[in-house]
Every structure is written in C-alpha cells, then in structure tokens.
C-alpha cells in the first residue's frame, strides 16, 4: 500500500465572508530603472495638471514654482535611502531639455516626456483634471478607466457669513493697533517663505488675519497633500457617528481582508489611522535583488488602483507595534469608506463629499481621483484657504456644526492625542508634543501636508491658523512660530 505524502496544507475550509475570495495576491513594487523613471515623469504630469488646471496658475507661473523631484526606492522602518544622485540626474535632464512638457488647455491635460537616447525608448506620462476629481494621473493610459461625470455638489452660500456660509465674515480691521504684531509677523513669514499662497488666522466668530502671496488668491484652490489624511480620518469619524462602522478598535473591514485567518485581520482601524499597521511591500529591482520596503509616496506616481494596491500590501511588522509613516494604510481606509458607501447603494463620489466637505461648506474642496475613480485618501486634495480653515473650526467646536453633532463625542480628543511612544503623530493629525513650535501649547494639533501646508488647531485659545503652500517650497518654521505666538497673544 503506497504511503500518502505528508499533509502540508490546512484542510479546514476558510471561513470567508459570503462572496469574498482568498488572500489578496501581494503587490510587488517594481524598482527597475525604467519603472522609476516612469514614476518621475508621472509625478511631473500630476504636479503640472494640479498647478494649472486645479489651482489655476498660468503656465509661466507654474513653471516658475515647479520643483523637479526624483523618485527613488522606498525606505525601511527607520530610514529613507539617499536620493541625491537621482535628483541631480533629473535636474540636469530638465536643464538640458531632455524633459518636455505639453499642455492641452481644451482637455485640461498635461503630458511629460523624457527623451534620453542613452536610456532607450522615451518615457511618457499624462494627467488630466476634471471638476470634483482633481488631477487624475493616467500614466501611459490615454484615458481614465471610469467616467468622471459631473457631480452634484453643494453650492456656495453667500447669504450666510463664514464659516457657516461663504459671505465675508467679521474681520479684524488692519488699522487696529491690537493686530499690529500679528501683521508684522505675517509680513515676515511671507518674506522668508517664498512658496506660501496664503495665511488665515481665525476664531469661530471672526477672521483676525487673511493674507495672500503674489501667486495666491481668495478663490484659488491650493494643494493639501497629506492634509487630506485628516479629511479621511474625519470621514471615518462621520461613519462611526452614523453607525456605518462600529469602533476604531475593531478589525479593519477592508474589502480584500475578509478571511479571518489572515494576519491582516489583526490590523484595527486605529492602527491604520495612527500609522501602526505594519504594512509593507516586497520590492524587486529587476536585477534579481529584492527586499521589503515601506512606501511613502508611490500612490502619487503610479497610475493604478490605489485602493487595491494598498490592500495587497504584506504585513511586515506586528500590527500596532511600530510607527511608520506611509500612505498605504490611509488608502486602505479609503477602500473601507468606498465599500461602506456602495454597500448601502449610495453614489460613492457624491456621498464622500456629502458626508463632510459639503456638509460643512467646504464647497471648493475636491479629492484627486486615481485612474479607476477612487478618491485618493492619503493626499492630493485641493481647496481655498477659507475652506481648509472650516475643518479646523469643526474641531474647535468639538465636532459640532451649526448646532448639529457630526463627530462622535470624544473624537476630537482621540484624533488629536498621540498614543504611540516616540511619535507625536495622532490619528492623521500631528501634535505639538515635541514642541516643534515652542511658542504654542503642547496640545496644539495640525493637519499636515508634505510641503508645509497646515491647518493648525489651538483648542485652548479657540484659534485656527491655516497655511497654504506650493509643493517642495520650504517655509520658515521660526517665522510661523512667531506668527502663532502673535495670534495667541491677540486673543489672550
């Protein structure tokens, strides 16, 4: 009688949710030279389409403020690789004319092309802008894989003063001596921070300061980058308040994570919000070498399904044990948001806006969509300065708006308090626990963008300080600290 082979697999059928498949196939990051260069031109197309057709800069102004940025291999748990040689190569290519930029105003499209005979075939990527969907990265595609139909959005309400509406609010007269130091601090901040679009300092009742740079304007939507994470966090809060989700400490109900035996089921919503998911990616350099990396930006370079890619990450560290700032976990939250909306038979895009942005009058706010129509949860939104400040006002008011509670009781404390030792990161906000701004209280928190965009929330003083800034232009932190101190002194 032949001996049967030894058992190698669990013969217990997986306890899957109805209609769910097995474990998602891991996504492998392609770090070959051509793939990395493709991401460079894709990022350039995305940036230019945002600058010209979302923010509304003319081509000359966009070229003046654009900063070429190389794309390298993502980093590990505690460091990012040195990308200086790639950056030097990219700058040289721009200066030599190897990289060209074509704009189509009628189609609101930008195409970037890198011609380098020594490298091989040209590398080309495109992006388009559509109202309500921001700048959509196409990469090598000719069109997105969804139809960006016009959305029904809330219209601005000019019958009610800001923040509840869009009429001009009570403002501090610039001639009042009480605001002199705040004005001086703002003037100095603009002098030392060349990329700033605008600065707004406000209480829920009035605006103390509103000032714009030469490329800013009150009606100009400007980039948020990772301030969008605070929007996503607040959308999760809205779903908790509406009963669409149970608790932040529940296993994250991602659509592709429904096998209860999978290690992904150890990841909670709280872990995703606080960047402690442990999610990483295997990476291949095309030459036979591989490792595990923790991405920080390739959702803005890869013209693909942002939500599926995020859910296909592997679990590289024990969930909840290690803080590592990535975009992956936030886009898993985006997949959860979409799944919860569509499972109720509701229109995805309009419901996302209706839950939060339109509900509090952020009528200029728009997420950027990926090429499949997912509203990218980790970053790349755009809005006017006053509309960004409305998010801060919502948090100043403990999650209530116009007399109605929109966020669960206790959410504001939860969302703006760091809990992971060694990190001032909270639930998609950052806190001043490490005294990054020494003149401001340690419980100051802010929604933070990659290029120093900020919505700073000073609950103790009932103040919001909003800064909008162009991508890859550094700001003067000491000058911003001085501006904050002047604002606190004015209301104290």
Task: Render pLDDT for 93-127 as a digit per residue (tens, 0 to 9).
Answer: 999 999 999 999 999 999 999 999 999 999 999 99
- What does the alpha-carbon distance between residue 338 and residue 350 come to, in Å, rounded to a whole number? 11
- What does the alpha-carbon distance between residue 80 and residue 480 come to, in Å, rounded to a whole number? 27
Give kind and range of the element (H or E) at residue 110. Answer: strand 109-114
Residue 354, in any domain of the structure: no
Residue 305, in any domain of the structure: yes
Q: State the residue for tokens 């260069």.
A: 37
Q: Do 469 and 487 belong to one domain?
A: yes
> Residue 190 pLDDT > 90, yes or no?
yes
> Residue 2 pLDDT > 80, yes or no?
no
pLDDT tens digits, 263-309:
999 999 999 999 999 999 999 877 767 789 998 888 999 999 999 99
Residue 267 confidence (pLDDT): 98
Q: Do 88 and 136 belong to one domain?
A: yes
Q: Do 186 and 279 belong to one domain?
A: no
Tokens of 245: 């989700």
The proportion of the chain whose per-residue pLDDT surpasses 70, expressed as a percent, equals 96
Residue 422 confidence (pLDDT): 85
Q: Do 327 and 381 belong to one domain?
A: no
> Residue 9 pLDDT > 70, yes or no?
no
pLDDT tens digits, 380-413:
999 999 999 999 999 999 999 999 999 999 999 9
| Nearby residues of 198 by Cβ (< 8 Å), 6 or more positions away | 210, 211, 212, 213, 216, 217, 218, 222, 385, 466, 467, 468
Domain limits for position 299? 243-339
> Residue 16 pLDDT > 70, yes or no?
no
Give the mean pLDDT of 224-245: 97
Name the pLDDT band for 161 (thresholds 50, 70, 90).
very high
Residue 19 confidence (pLDDT): 46
Name the pLDDT band for 18 (thresholds 50, 70, 90).
very low
Residue 314 confidence (pLDDT): 96
Residue 276, in any domain of the structure: yes
Q: Do 388 and 310 belong to one domain?
A: no
Q: Do 190 and 56 belong to one domain?
A: yes
* CATH number of the domain that residue 125 is part of: 3.40.710.10
Q: Pick the last residue of a domain from 272, 306, 339.
A: 339
Give the mean pLDDT of 366-378: 97
Q: Do 375 and 230 belong to one domain?
A: yes
Give the mean pLDDT of 320-335: 97
- What does the alpha-carbon distance between residue 69 and residue 63 come to, in Å, rounded to a whole number? 14
pLDDT tens digits, 21-80:
567 889 999 999 999 999 999 999 999 999 999 999 999 999 999 998 898 888 999 888
Comparing 333 with 75, the larger pLDDT belongs to 333
Of the candidates 445, 439, 452, the residue with the CA atom closest to the CA atom of residue 483:
439
Residue 449 confidence (pLDDT): 95
Beta-strand pair 222-225/29-30:
unpaired
Q: Do 172 and 294 belong to one domain?
A: no
Residue 13 confidence (pLDDT): 64
Q: Do 110 and 209 belong to one domain?
A: yes
- CA torsion sign for 481, 180, 455, 131 is negative
State residue 87 phi and psi, 5-degree precision.
-65, -40
Q: How many domains does the chain have?
A: 2
Comparing 259 with 290, the larger pLDDT belongs to 259
> Residue 364 pLDDT > 60, yes or no?
yes
Q: Do 273 and 256 belong to one domain?
A: yes
Q: Do 172 and 297 belong to one domain?
A: no
């Amino acid at each position: 009688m032949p001996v049967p082979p030894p058992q190698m697999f669990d013969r217990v059928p997986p306890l899957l949710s109805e209609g769910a498949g097995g474990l998602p196939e891991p996504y492998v990051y392609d770090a070959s030279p051509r793939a990395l260069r493709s991401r460079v031109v894709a990022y350039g197309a995305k940036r230019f389409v945002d600058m010209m057709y979302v923010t509304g800069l003319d081509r000359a102004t966009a070229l003046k403020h654009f900063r070429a940025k190389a794309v390298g291999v993502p980093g590990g748990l505690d460091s990012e690789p040195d990308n200086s040689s790639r950056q030097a190569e990219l700058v040289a290519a721009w200066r030599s004319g190897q990289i060209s930029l074509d704009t189509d105003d009628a189609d609101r499209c930008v195409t970037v092309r890198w011609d380098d005979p020594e490298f091989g075939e040209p590398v080309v990527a495109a992006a388009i802008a559509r109202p309500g969907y921001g700048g959509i990265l196409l990469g090598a595609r000719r069109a997105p894989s969804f139809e960006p139909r016009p959305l029904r959005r809330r219209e601005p309400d000019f019958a009610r003063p800001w923040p509840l509406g869009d009429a001009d609010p009570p403002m501090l007269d610039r001639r009042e001596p009480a605001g002199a130091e705040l004005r001086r601090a703002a003037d100095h901040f603009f002098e030392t921070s060349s990329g700033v679009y605008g600065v707004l300092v406000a209480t829920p009742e009035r605006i103390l300061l509103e000032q714009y740079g030469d490329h800013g304007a009150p009606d100009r939507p400007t980039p948020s980058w990772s301030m969008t994470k605070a929007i996503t966090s607040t959308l999760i809060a809205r779903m908790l308040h509406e009963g669409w989700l149970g608790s932040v400490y529940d296993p994250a109900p991602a659509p592709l994570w429904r096998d209860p035996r999978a290690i992904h089921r150890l990841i909670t919503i709280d872990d995703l919000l606080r960047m402690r998911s442990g999610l990483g990616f295997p990476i291949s350099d095309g030459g036979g070498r591989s490792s595990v990396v923790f991405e920080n930006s390739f959702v803005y370079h890869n013209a693909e399904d942002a939500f599926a890619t995020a859910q296909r990450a592997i679990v590289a560290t024990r969930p909840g044990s290690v803080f590592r700032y990535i975009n992956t976990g936030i886009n898993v939250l985006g997949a959860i948001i979409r799944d919860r909306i569509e499972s109720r038979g509701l229109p995805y895009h309009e419901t996302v806006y209706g839950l939060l942005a339109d509900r509090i009058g952020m009528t200029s706010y728009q997420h950027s969509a990926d090429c499949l129509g997912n509203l990218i949860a980790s970053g790349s939104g755009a809005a006017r300065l006053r509309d960004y400040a409305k998010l801060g006002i919502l948090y100043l008011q403990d999650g209530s708006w116009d007399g109605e509670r929109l966020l669960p009781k206790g959410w504001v404390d939860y969302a703006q308090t760091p809990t992971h030792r060694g990190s001032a990161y909270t639930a998609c906000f950052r806190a001043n626990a490490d005294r990054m701004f020494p003149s401001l209280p340690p419980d100051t928190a802010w929604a933070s963008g990659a290029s120093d965009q900020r919505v700073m929330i000073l609950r103790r003083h009932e103040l919001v300080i909003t800064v909008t800034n162009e991508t890859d232009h550094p700001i003067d932190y000491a000058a911003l600290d001085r501006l904050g101190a002047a604002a606190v002194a004015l209301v104290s």
